[in-house]
Amino acid sequence: MSNNRGLFLTFEGIEGAGKSSNLDYAKAIIEASGKKVTVSREPGGTEVGEKIRAVLLDPNLPAMHADTELLLMFASRAEHYQNKILPALNAGNWVLCDRFTDASFAYQGGGRNIDVNRIAALEAWALGNFKADKTFLFDLPVSVGLSRAKARSEADRIEQEESDFFERIRNSYLMRAIVEPNRFCVIDASQTMEGVRGQVERAVEELILKRIE
Ligand SMILES: Nc1ncnc2c1ncn2[C@@H]1O[C@H](COP(=O)(O)OP(=O)(O)OP(=O)(O)O)[C@@H](O)[C@H]1O
Ligand SMILES: [Mg+2]
């Protein structure tokens, strides 16, 4: 990895965990250190990807096969990786992404019970060995996340699932964090907004310092 290349940071967790609010907060800290930041999200992040996102989240569509959902996620991701993430990183920008591949393992793997080996095959096919440099996992009890999300907006197609579905997702995320402790930074997202921001700030400052050394 050349030193001018930016870092790729992903923000993961169940609905209402605080991904989007803290991504904005991290962006401000990184920009204040003089780096350029590209913000993006999945599914979506590109013009094509946002159209795929609209299909994935449409609450009026009939039930979609889990494989279809997974393939649409990776179709959006391939476009995103090739046409937005890689060019931005190569231009020296830091890229902050609201959900990435870990979400496919957690939602389509843990949530929808797709065999993780099939997901790993798609990951290798679409991304090769590419992974986030750091993944912030916002972890909190499902009931707290869902009540935060509900207070904010109407449920989309995926948010309408039962709480068991989100328990499986939370557990999948936590298992992934155990397997890759260097890539993951687990944030206790049940704390107050200030408490969570403090954790994010410390972790982001550490990344900035490492990049300067
Ligand atoms: N630590 C916190 N304590 C209380 N409320 C919070 C906290 N963090 C975020 N919120 C609020 O909870 C809601 C969800 O936060 P946010 O949108 O950042 O979560 P998210 O993980 O991006 O959710 P989604 O997956 O639905 O996009 C927002 O209204 C936000 O202001
Ligand atoms: Mg969000």
Element containing residue 135 per DSSP (H, E): strand 134-139
For residue 107, give both structure tokens.
Answer: 């939602």
Structure pTM?
Answer: 0.95
Residue located nearest, by CA, to atom 6 of ligand 1: 193
Nearest-atom number in ligand 1 for the CA of 192 is 1
Whole-number Cα distances in Å, 136 to 110, 180, 207: 18, 12, 12
Question: Each residue of 16-38: pLDDT tens digit?
Answer: 999 999 999 999 999 999 999 99
Residues with CB under 6 A from ligand 1: 13, 15-21, 148-149, 152, 191-193, 196
Rounded to an integer, what distance in angstroms lies between the CA atom of residue 18 and that of residue 189?
A: 7
Stretches in the chain below the pLDDT threshold 70: 1-3, 212-213
Question: Each residue of 76-113: pLDDT tens digit?
Answer: 999 999 999 999 999 999 999 999 999 999 999 999 99
Q: What's 181's DSSP letter?
A: T
Q: Relative to the alpha carbon of 23, which ligand is closest?
A: 1
Identify the CATH assignment for 8-212 out of 3.40.50.300, 3.40.50.10320, 3.90.1170.50, 3.40.50.150.
3.40.50.300
Residue located nearest, by CA, to atom 18 of ligand 1: 18
